[in-house]
Amino acid sequence: MSRWGQFAVGIALAGLFLWLILRDLDRSALAEALRSPDLRWLALGFVFWALGYTVRVLRWRAMLAVANPDLGFWRCAVPFLGSIAANNVLPFRLGDVLRCLAFSRWLAVDTGTVTATVLAERLLDLLTVLLAVGLAILVLAPRDGAMGLLGVGASLLVGLGLVALGLLLVPGALRPLARGVERLARRASPAVANRIAGFSGPLIDTLVTLSQGRRMLGLIAASALVWTCEGAVYWAVAKAIPAMVVPEAAWLAMPVGTLATLLPSTPGYIGTFDYFAIAAAKAGGNSTAAATAFAVLVHLYFYVPASILGGICLLVWRLKRGQA
């Protein structure tokens, strides 16, 4: 499918999920749920947000330090936050492309290494979020009836997540698996096989480099802290809304809403993120209006500050580059 075809599918899915959200929504109940949130909890949410993004930048800096040990925090923060702002307003996740291809001179790191670290970052995030989904279901889901089967699936997900994270400590073990997938793909399409090789080879090489010493343990611990802070933002927002009678459901909404951003959507994941975050909050025992108010505020938390700071970072980068 062409990129514009994917974009059209994303727009259609976003429209569908927005329609599903709005079709039975009681607007007056939503307005009531959004009225008079607890500002203390909202302020605490911003503290968790800032801490989470600080750790994200430090984690990326630790990866890039293999190639350039002299990199400073702010030197890494500019492309990191700038890419997030670009993803929020541009289609096709062009912010990630920008970070991989446009900041090599800024970071004094070659483009291939920057791209490999971004891939490694995405892999760590995906595995951590999958583990978070399993843990949230195990802790929050009831054990009776059909939900008991869901608990079994969550246990398997937690187990697989722990095994996958463990493999990151010995990533060389992934090479035979990658070669096997490449051979199978080559039977169907050499072009696809070449894409897999071009993706998996640099990623595994980077993971092997990062696994030396105790660096990978630190990266895994940083990933756990990143997503704990992310969940804490959701929880703080839920606590700020009086209508959210079960604020603990925020810990399920965080990984579910995050995984929903993998679906084709608009820039900023409008519709897709909101629908699944609302569904998770409702599954935890909250009303539709409360869950919708919660999802809207959480979405604003992660969209507005990152877009503003990222836009400033891109402006700084542009000005500095123009002076070079």
Closest to 252 measured CA to CA, from 168, 97, 93, 138: 138
pLDDT tens over the chain, length 324 residues? 567 777 788 899 989 999 999 998 999 999 999 988 999 999 999 999 999 999 999 999 999 999 999 999 999 999 999 999 999 998 888 999 999 999 999 999 999 889 989 999 999 999 999 999 988 888 876 555 444 446 566 777 788 888 888 888 888 888 888 888 888 888 888 888 888 878 788 888 888 888 887 889 999 999 999 999 999 999 999 999 999 999 999 999 999 999 999 888 888 899 999 999 999 999 989 999 999 999 999 999 999 999 999 999 999 998 987 654
What pLDDT is recorded for position 141?
66
pLDDT of the residue at 140: 78
Residue 14 near residue 22 (C-beta atoms within 8 A): no
Contact 281, 291 (CB under 8 A): yes
Q: What whole-number distance in Å separates Cα of residue 257 and Cα of residue 261?
A: 7
Given CA atoms 90, 92, 93, 99 in this order, what sign does their dihedral have? negative
Q: What is the pLDDT of residue 146?
A: 45
d(CA 202, CA 112): 8
Q: Which two tokens stand for residue 199?
A: 């993706």
Q: Determine the 3-state secondary structure of 266 from DSSP.
A: coil
**Helices 272-283 and 250-260: crossing angle, nearest 10°?**
150
Tell me what pLDDT residue 145 has: 46
Q: What pLDDT, on a 0 to 100 scale, did the predictor assign at position 178?
A: 84
Q: Is the distance from CB of 62 to CB of 219 less than 8 angstroms?
A: yes
Question: Contact, 290 vs 250, CB < 8 A?
Answer: no
Distance separating alpha carbons of residues 31 and 37, to the nearest angstrom: 11
Note the pLDDT of residue 149.
Answer: 47
Tokens of 282: 């409702």
Query: Which pLDDT belongs to residue 152?
Result: 63
Query: Which of 56, 115, 75, 66 is closest to 215 using CA atoms?
Result: 66
pLDDT for position 209: 87
